[in-house]
Protein backbone atom coordinates (compact mmCIF):
# COMPACT_ATOMS: atom_id res chain seq x y z
CA UNK A 1 0.00 0.00 0.00
CA UNK A 2 2.76 2.44 0.97
CA UNK A 3 4.71 1.61 -2.21
CA UNK A 4 1.67 2.39 -4.34
CA UNK A 5 1.22 5.71 -2.55
CA UNK A 6 4.87 6.61 -3.17
CA UNK A 7 4.64 5.68 -6.85
CA UNK A 8 1.43 7.69 -7.30
CA UNK A 9 2.98 10.65 -5.51
CA UNK A 10 6.09 10.57 -7.71
CA UNK A 11 3.95 10.34 -10.83
CA UNK A 12 1.87 13.32 -9.67
CA UNK A 13 5.03 15.33 -9.03
CA UNK A 14 6.37 14.61 -12.51
CA UNK A 15 3.03 15.57 -14.05
CA UNK A 16 2.96 18.96 -12.31
CA UNK A 17 6.60 19.85 -12.99
CA UNK A 18 7.76 22.39 -15.56
CA UNK A 19 8.06 20.58 -18.94
CA UNK A 20 11.74 21.46 -19.28
CA UNK A 21 12.57 20.30 -15.74
CA UNK A 22 10.51 17.16 -16.27
CA UNK A 23 12.41 16.38 -19.48
CA UNK A 24 15.71 17.06 -17.72
CA UNK A 25 14.76 14.74 -14.87
CA UNK A 26 13.68 12.00 -17.27
CA UNK A 27 17.00 12.22 -19.11
CA UNK A 28 19.03 12.07 -15.90
CA UNK A 29 17.06 9.07 -14.67
CA UNK A 30 17.17 7.26 -18.05
CA UNK A 31 20.89 7.88 -18.54
CA UNK A 32 21.66 6.80 -14.98
CA UNK A 33 19.69 3.60 -15.53
CA UNK A 34 21.46 2.93 -18.84
CA UNK A 35 24.77 3.25 -17.02
CA UNK A 36 23.61 0.78 -14.40
CA UNK A 37 24.07 3.33 -11.62
CA UNK A 38 21.92 3.47 -8.54
CA UNK A 39 20.66 6.84 -7.39
CA UNK A 40 22.82 6.45 -4.31
CA UNK A 41 25.95 5.84 -6.41
CA UNK A 42 25.29 8.82 -8.67
CA UNK A 43 24.63 11.07 -5.70
CA UNK A 44 27.94 10.02 -4.17
CA UNK A 45 30.00 10.53 -7.35
CA UNK A 46 28.31 13.85 -8.16
CA UNK A 47 28.59 15.01 -4.55
CA UNK A 48 24.90 15.81 -4.21
CA UNK A 49 22.34 14.43 -1.78
CA UNK A 50 20.08 11.54 -2.77
CA UNK A 51 17.11 13.69 -1.82
CA UNK A 52 18.19 16.43 -4.21
CA UNK A 53 18.79 13.90 -6.98
CA UNK A 54 15.35 12.40 -6.40
CA UNK A 55 13.81 15.86 -6.76
CA UNK A 56 15.75 16.43 -9.96
CA UNK A 57 14.65 13.13 -11.48
CA UNK A 58 10.99 13.86 -10.75
CA UNK A 59 11.21 17.28 -12.38
CA UNK A 60 11.09 19.21 -9.10
CA UNK A 61 14.75 20.21 -8.81
CA UNK A 62 15.79 23.50 -10.37
CA UNK A 63 19.42 22.52 -10.83
CA UNK A 64 22.24 25.06 -10.98
CA UNK A 65 24.63 24.72 -13.91
CA UNK A 66 27.49 23.82 -11.54
CA UNK A 67 25.56 20.95 -9.96
CA UNK A 68 24.27 19.80 -13.34
CA UNK A 69 27.82 19.72 -14.66
CA UNK A 70 28.88 17.51 -11.74
CA UNK A 71 25.94 15.17 -12.36
CA UNK A 72 26.69 14.98 -16.10
CA UNK A 73 30.35 14.20 -15.43
CA UNK A 74 29.43 11.52 -12.90
CA UNK A 75 27.13 9.86 -15.45
CA UNK A 76 29.68 10.35 -18.21
CA UNK A 77 27.73 12.47 -20.70
CA UNK A 78 28.03 16.06 -21.94
CA UNK A 79 25.77 18.58 -20.20
CA UNK A 80 24.21 19.34 -23.60
CA UNK A 81 22.85 15.79 -23.79
CA UNK A 82 20.80 16.45 -20.66
CA UNK A 83 19.52 19.97 -21.35
CA UNK A 84 19.24 20.09 -25.15
CA UNK A 85 15.82 20.78 -26.68
CA UNK A 86 16.35 18.49 -29.66
CA UNK A 87 14.50 15.16 -29.79
CA UNK A 88 16.10 12.08 -28.27
CA UNK A 89 18.89 10.85 -30.50
CA UNK A 90 18.89 7.41 -32.07
CA UNK A 91 21.60 4.88 -31.30
CA UNK A 92 23.05 5.40 -34.78
CA UNK A 93 23.31 9.15 -34.21
CA UNK A 94 25.12 8.63 -30.92
CA UNK A 95 27.58 6.17 -32.49
CA UNK A 96 28.22 8.46 -35.46
CA UNK A 97 28.92 11.38 -33.11
CA UNK A 98 31.44 9.28 -31.20
CA UNK A 99 33.13 8.22 -34.43
CA UNK A 100 33.37 11.79 -35.72
CA UNK A 101 34.92 13.01 -32.47
CA UNK A 102 37.98 10.85 -33.18
CA UNK A 103 38.66 12.45 -36.55
CA UNK A 104 40.97 15.36 -37.30
CA UNK A 105 39.74 18.64 -38.80
CA UNK A 106 40.93 17.58 -42.27
CA UNK A 107 39.27 14.18 -41.97
CA UNK A 108 36.01 15.85 -40.93
CA UNK A 109 36.13 18.05 -44.04
CA UNK A 110 36.64 14.93 -46.16
CA UNK A 111 33.72 13.19 -44.43
CA UNK A 112 31.43 16.14 -45.10
CA UNK A 113 32.41 16.18 -48.77
CA UNK A 114 31.72 12.45 -49.04
CA UNK A 115 28.33 12.83 -47.38
CA UNK A 116 27.40 15.74 -49.61
CA UNK A 117 28.45 13.86 -52.73
CA UNK A 118 26.36 10.86 -51.66
CA UNK A 119 23.32 12.49 -50.08
CA UNK A 120 23.36 16.27 -50.53
CA UNK A 121 24.59 17.10 -54.00
CA UNK A 122 22.79 14.49 -56.05
CA UNK A 123 20.87 17.44 -57.50
CA UNK A 124 24.02 18.11 -59.55
CA UNK A 125 23.95 21.38 -61.44
CA UNK A 126 20.98 22.63 -59.42
CA UNK A 127 23.31 23.66 -56.60
CA UNK A 128 25.43 25.74 -58.98
CA UNK A 129 22.29 27.52 -60.13
CA UNK A 130 21.53 28.62 -56.57
CA UNK A 131 24.06 31.22 -55.51
CA UNK A 132 24.04 32.38 -51.90
CA UNK A 133 26.05 35.36 -50.70
CA UNK A 134 27.12 35.23 -47.06
CA UNK A 135 29.11 37.56 -44.82
CA UNK A 136 28.71 40.46 -42.43
CA UNK A 137 26.34 43.32 -43.08
CA UNK A 138 28.07 46.04 -45.07
CA UNK A 139 30.14 43.67 -47.21
CA UNK A 140 28.01 44.47 -50.26
CA UNK A 141 25.83 41.36 -50.49
CA UNK A 142 22.61 43.11 -51.45
CA UNK A 143 24.13 45.48 -54.00
CA UNK A 144 26.25 42.75 -55.54
CA UNK A 145 23.41 40.23 -55.38
CA UNK A 146 21.04 42.45 -57.36
CA UNK A 147 23.68 43.07 -60.03
CA UNK A 148 24.50 39.37 -60.29
CA UNK A 149 20.84 38.33 -60.46
CA UNK A 150 20.22 40.82 -63.28
CA UNK A 151 23.27 39.55 -65.14
CA UNK A 152 22.19 35.92 -64.79
CA UNK A 153 18.49 36.72 -65.34
CA UNK A 154 17.41 34.97 -62.13
CA UNK A 155 15.40 36.16 -59.10
CA UNK A 156 17.22 38.06 -56.37
CA UNK A 157 16.09 37.09 -52.87
CA UNK A 158 16.99 38.65 -49.53
CA UNK A 159 16.42 36.04 -46.85
CA UNK A 160 15.67 38.65 -44.17
CA UNK A 161 12.84 40.03 -46.31
CA UNK A 162 11.44 36.49 -46.69
CA UNK A 163 11.50 36.16 -42.90
CA UNK A 164 9.52 39.39 -42.60
CA UNK A 165 7.05 38.22 -45.23
CA UNK A 166 6.46 34.89 -43.50
CA UNK A 167 6.07 36.42 -40.05
CA UNK A 168 4.19 39.55 -41.10
CA UNK A 169 6.53 41.61 -38.93
CA UNK A 170 9.78 43.52 -39.27
CA UNK A 171 12.96 41.91 -37.96
CA UNK A 172 13.01 44.40 -35.08
CA UNK A 173 9.48 43.45 -34.08
CA UNK A 174 10.29 39.74 -34.22
CA UNK A 175 13.27 40.13 -31.90
CA UNK A 176 11.46 42.49 -29.53
CA UNK A 177 8.26 40.45 -29.22
CA UNK A 178 9.42 36.86 -29.60
CA UNK A 179 13.21 36.79 -29.40
CA UNK A 180 16.05 34.98 -31.10
CA UNK A 181 14.46 31.52 -31.13
CA UNK A 182 11.43 32.62 -33.16
CA UNK A 183 13.63 34.49 -35.63
CA UNK A 184 15.88 31.43 -36.15
CA UNK A 185 12.89 29.14 -36.63
CA UNK A 186 11.31 31.51 -39.17
CA UNK A 187 14.64 31.99 -40.95
CA UNK A 188 14.92 28.22 -41.39
CA UNK A 189 11.35 28.01 -42.69
CA UNK A 190 11.99 30.88 -45.10
CA UNK A 191 15.10 29.20 -46.51
CA UNK A 192 13.29 25.88 -46.93
CA UNK A 193 10.48 27.66 -48.80
CA UNK A 194 12.92 29.43 -51.11
CA UNK A 195 14.67 26.14 -51.92
CA UNK A 196 11.36 24.44 -52.59
CA UNK A 197 10.00 27.16 -54.87
CA UNK A 198 13.07 28.18 -56.88
CA UNK A 199 15.56 26.18 -58.92
CA UNK A 200 17.64 29.22 -59.83
CA UNK A 201 18.30 32.36 -57.80
CA UNK A 202 20.79 34.68 -56.17
CA UNK A 203 20.24 34.94 -52.43
CA UNK A 204 21.66 37.34 -49.86
CA UNK A 205 21.68 35.69 -46.43
CA UNK A 206 21.69 37.55 -43.13
CA UNK A 207 25.11 37.91 -41.56
CA UNK A 208 24.15 35.90 -38.48
CA UNK A 209 22.98 32.82 -40.39
CA UNK A 210 26.42 31.34 -39.69
CA UNK A 211 25.55 31.22 -35.98
CA UNK A 212 22.75 28.71 -36.56
CA UNK A 213 24.58 25.52 -37.65
CA UNK A 214 21.51 23.64 -38.90
CA UNK A 215 20.31 26.43 -41.18
CA UNK A 216 23.85 27.24 -42.29
CA UNK A 217 24.46 23.60 -43.21
CA UNK A 218 21.25 23.54 -45.26
CA UNK A 219 22.35 26.69 -47.06
CA UNK A 220 25.87 25.48 -47.86
CA UNK A 221 24.75 22.03 -48.99
CA UNK A 222 21.93 23.38 -51.19
CA UNK A 223 23.59 26.48 -52.69
CA UNK A 224 26.89 27.55 -54.19
CA UNK A 225 28.07 29.91 -51.47
CA UNK A 226 30.17 33.04 -51.79
CA UNK A 227 31.74 34.73 -48.79
CA UNK A 228 31.53 38.43 -49.59
CA UNK A 229 33.98 40.20 -47.32
CA UNK A 230 35.62 43.57 -46.90
CA UNK A 231 37.81 45.41 -44.41
CA UNK A 232 36.21 46.24 -41.02
CA UNK A 233 36.44 49.96 -41.73
CA UNK A 234 34.47 49.59 -44.95
CA UNK A 235 31.93 47.34 -43.19
CA UNK A 236 31.26 50.12 -40.71
CA UNK A 237 31.21 52.94 -43.26
CA UNK A 238 28.84 51.13 -45.61
CA UNK A 239 26.36 50.50 -42.81
CA UNK A 240 26.49 54.19 -41.85
CA UNK A 241 26.12 55.20 -45.52
CA UNK A 242 22.92 53.15 -45.59
CA UNK A 243 21.57 55.56 -42.98
CA UNK A 244 22.00 53.33 -39.94
CA UNK A 245 23.93 55.19 -37.24
CA UNK A 246 23.28 52.58 -34.55
CA UNK A 247 26.74 50.98 -34.84
CA UNK A 248 28.32 54.21 -33.62
CA UNK A 249 25.62 55.39 -31.20
CA UNK A 250 26.75 55.26 -27.58
CA UNK A 251 29.40 52.72 -28.50
CA UNK A 252 33.02 53.82 -28.54
CA UNK A 253 34.00 50.19 -29.02
CA UNK A 254 31.95 49.69 -32.18
CA UNK A 255 34.96 48.78 -34.33
CA UNK A 256 36.33 46.43 -31.71
CA UNK A 257 32.95 44.71 -31.48
CA UNK A 258 32.73 44.41 -35.25
CA UNK A 259 36.18 42.78 -35.45
CA UNK A 260 35.21 40.40 -32.65
CA UNK A 261 31.99 39.36 -34.43
CA UNK A 262 33.86 38.83 -37.69
CA UNK A 263 36.53 36.74 -35.98
CA UNK A 264 33.93 34.51 -34.30
CA UNK A 265 32.12 33.87 -37.59
CA UNK A 266 35.13 33.48 -39.87
CA UNK A 267 35.44 29.69 -39.43
CA UNK A 268 31.86 29.34 -40.75
CA UNK A 269 32.12 31.93 -43.52
CA UNK A 270 35.35 30.23 -44.64
CA UNK A 271 33.35 27.11 -45.51
CA UNK A 272 31.93 28.95 -48.53
CA UNK A 273 32.80 27.60 -51.97
CA UNK A 274 34.60 30.82 -52.92
CA UNK A 275 35.63 34.05 -51.22
CA UNK A 276 35.26 37.50 -52.75
CA UNK A 277 37.09 40.48 -51.25
CA UNK A 278 35.24 43.71 -52.09
CA UNK A 279 37.40 46.23 -50.20
CA UNK A 280 38.37 49.20 -52.37
CA UNK A 281 36.31 48.01 -55.33
CA UNK A 282 33.24 49.40 -57.03
CA UNK A 283 30.19 47.12 -57.27
CA UNK A 284 30.88 46.69 -60.98
CA UNK A 285 34.48 45.61 -60.33
CA UNK A 286 33.30 43.15 -57.68
CA UNK A 287 30.69 41.78 -60.08
CA UNK A 288 33.30 41.09 -62.76
CA UNK A 289 35.50 39.31 -60.24
CA UNK A 290 32.59 37.29 -58.92
CA UNK A 291 31.51 36.20 -62.41
CA UNK A 292 35.05 35.00 -63.01
CA UNK A 293 35.01 33.07 -59.72
CA UNK A 294 31.71 31.43 -60.64
CA UNK A 295 33.18 30.29 -63.94
CA UNK A 296 36.45 29.20 -62.32
CA UNK A 297 35.83 28.48 -58.60
CA UNK A 298 39.36 27.18 -58.19
CA UNK A 299 40.58 30.76 -58.54
CA UNK A 300 40.68 32.74 -55.31
CA UNK A 301 41.24 36.49 -54.99
CA UNK A 302 44.77 37.52 -54.15
CA UNK A 303 43.64 39.80 -51.31
CA UNK A 304 42.33 37.88 -48.30
CA UNK A 305 42.78 40.48 -45.55
CA UNK A 306 39.99 41.90 -43.40
Domains of the chain, earliest start first: 2-88 (1.10.260.40), 123-295 (3.40.50.300)
- Please answer whether residues 250 and 115 qualify as being in contact, where contact means their C-beta atoms are separated by less than 8 angstroms: no
Question: What per-residue confidence (pLDDT) applies to 134?
Answer: 96
**Which tens digits make up the pLDDT trace of 221-247?**
899 999 998 887 776 777 676 655 444
Question: What per-residue confidence (pLDDT) applies to 148?
Answer: 96
Question: Which is nearest to 296 in space by CA: 224, 199, 217, 202?
Answer: 224
Question: What per-residue confidence (pLDDT) applies to 163?
Answer: 95
Question: What per-residue confidence (pLDDT) applies to 109?
Answer: 83
| Residue environment code for 111-140, b if the CB has 16+ CB neighbours within 10 A, otherwise e | ebeeeeeeebbeeeeebebbbbbbbbbbbb
**Which tens digits make up the pLDDT trace of 67-87?**
889 998 888 888 888 887 666
In angstroms, the CA 295 to CA 292 distance is 5
**Which tens digits make up the pLDDT trace of 28-60?**
888 888 777 888 888 888 898 889 899 998 888
Q: What are the average pLDDT values for consecutive 10-residue runs of the chain, which has 306 residues?
A: 52 61 88 83 89 89 85 86 73 78 86 74 67 89 94 96 94 87 92 94 92 89 91 73 52 71 86 89 91 78 41
Question: Which is nearest to 186 in space by CA: 203, 162, 204?
Answer: 162
pTM: 0.68
Question: What per-residue confidence (pLDDT) applies to 161?
Answer: 95
Question: Which is nearest to 262 in space by CA: 153, 139, 180?
Answer: 139
- Please answer whether residues 236 and 138 qualify as being in contact, where contact means their C-beta atoms are separated by less than 8 angstroms: yes
Question: What per-residue confidence (pLDDT) applies to 9?
Answer: 52
Give the SS3 label for residue 85.
coil
Question: Which is nearest to 199 in space by CA: 125, 145, 134?
Answer: 125
Question: What per-residue confidence (pLDDT) applies to 143?
Answer: 92
Question: What per-residue confidence (pLDDT) applies to 91?
Answer: 72
In angstroms, the CA 154 to CA 19 distance is 46
Question: What per-residue confidence (pLDDT) applies to 122?
Answer: 47
Question: What per-residue confidence (pLDDT) applies to 245?
Answer: 47
Amino acid sequence: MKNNVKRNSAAAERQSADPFLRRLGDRVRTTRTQRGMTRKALARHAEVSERYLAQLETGQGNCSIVLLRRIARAIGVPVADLVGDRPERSVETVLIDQFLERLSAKELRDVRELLLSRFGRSIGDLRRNRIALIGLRGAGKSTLGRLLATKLDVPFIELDREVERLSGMSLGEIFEMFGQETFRRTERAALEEVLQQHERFVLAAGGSIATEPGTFELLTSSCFTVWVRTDPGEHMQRVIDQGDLRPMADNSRAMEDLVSILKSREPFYARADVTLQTAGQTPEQSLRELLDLLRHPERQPARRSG
